[in-house]
Amino acid sequence: MSRIGKLPVEVPAGVTITVGDKDITVAGPKGTLTVPIQANTTTKVEGNQIIVTRIDDEPKSRAWHGLQRALINNAVVGVTKGFEKKLEINGVGFRLSGGPKEIEMALGFSHPVKYKAPEGIELKTDKMTITVSGIDKQQVGQVAAEIRALKKPEPYKGKGIKYVDEVIIRKAGKAGKK
């Protein structure tokens, strides 16, 4: 049995779970998310716990078992606490400005780079740090990856946009003549 899938999902106070035919709706203080129901799993709400079980022991069912539980847990955490990722801009002459929906960056190109956040995502800027926050874990990660892709960190000086906890492995430059 899946080690992740067999764990029940704790539902905190203030969160309502509605299990439909094709999806599960999770509503909480920060918003509402829907999770599609995977084909070979069943979901039951018992008290303040959600229990996910699988129908058979086929390899695909076993994989979807853990996935279904993880998606539900991420939805519950998202509507209660939310998710955030932090990005850091490194480089001489690089600048950052903007508000909760759109940021503008000078990244060494001939033009400023603008990024508009999709619905449900908030961008906060603080000096050279961007904080991407929202209730959908997948969407927060996607937006952070899109912003990072605008100017990936290069291995010689480390210039570019990187995650705060990311370690850039540096390469040695030219050795020079002896």
Q: Is residue 127 part of a domain?
A: yes
Task: Check whether residue 131 and residue 63 sit in a common domain.
Answer: no
Examine the fold and report which residue of 18, 48, 80 is the final residue of a domain before the chain moves on: 80
Residue 38: which of 2, 58, 64 has the closest Cα? Answer: 64
Say what the pTM is.
0.87
Examine the fold and report which residue of 31, 64, 80 is the final residue of a domain before the chain moves on: 80
Rounded Cα distance between 124 and 104, Å, is: 12
Rounded Cα distance between 66 and 61, Å, is: 9
pLDDT in tens, 56-99: 888 888 889 989 999 999 999 999 999 999 999 998 889 999 87
Whichever domain contains 157, its CATH number is: 3.90.930.12
Q: Which residues span the domain enclosing 51?
A: 9-80
Rounded Cα distance between 63 and 7, Å, is: 14
Per-residue pLDDT, 38? 86
Task: Check whether residue 74 and residue 57 sit in a common domain.
Answer: yes
What percent of the chain has pLDDT above 70?
A: 98
pLDDT in tens, 145-176: 999 999 999 999 889 999 999 898 889 888 77
What percent of the chain has pLDDT above 90?
A: 60
